[in-house]
């Protein structure tokens, strides 16, 4: 029994540093982080995961329907969506 426990503790001691170093840095309030080495944004929890899934689903739908899709959004490109004068 002591040998089994010792082996288990040794495996945990070896595995934990690999898990911890897999994603250095923190997760932002959206539930993801930007990986500078790969230049990609990764989702780890909500709401990021749901938003990412919606984007992938929309991309796949556009592909099936043979139409264009872009995930690029620039709020300044849609000034008519902003109620600047406050009249709703």
The tally of CA atoms less than 13 A away on the side-chain side of residue 15 is 6
The helix (run of H) or strand (run of E) holding residue 34 is strand 32-35
Question: Cα Rg for the chain, rounded, in angstroms?
Answer: 22
What integer pLDDT is reported at residue 21 of this predicted model?
A: 44
42 falls within a domain: yes
The pLDDT assigned to 65 comes to 92
Residue 56 located in a structural domain? yes
84 lies in some domain: no
Task: Please report whether residue 7 resides in a domain.
Answer: no
Q: Is residue 74 in a domain?
A: no
The whole-number pLDDT of residue 64 equals 93
Beta bridge partners of 34: 41
Count: domains in the chain: 1
Residue 13 lies in a domain: no
Q: How many CB atoms lie within 10 A of CB 30?
A: 15
Domain boundaries, position 37:
28-65
53, part of any domain: yes
> Can you give the pLDDT of all 88 residues of the chain as single tens digits?
576 766 666 667 666 554 444 555 688 888 888 888 888 888 888 888 888 888 888 889 999 999 888 767 666 777 677 777 777 6
Q: What is this structure's pTM?
A: 0.43
- Is 55 inside a domain boundary? yes
Alpha-carbon torsion (36, 56, 31, 20), positive or negative: negative
């Amino acid at each position: 029994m002591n040998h089994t426990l010792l082996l288990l503790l040794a495996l945990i001691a070896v595995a934990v540093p690999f898990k911890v170093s897999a994603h250095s840095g923190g997760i932002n309030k959206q539930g993801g982080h930007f990986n500078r080495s790969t230049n990609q944004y990764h989702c780890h929890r909500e709401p990021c995961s749901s938003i990412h899934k919606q984007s992938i689903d929309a991309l796949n739908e556009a592909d099936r329907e043979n139409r264009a899709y872009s995930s690029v959004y620039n709020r300044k490109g849609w000034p008519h969506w902003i109620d600047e004068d406050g009249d709703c």
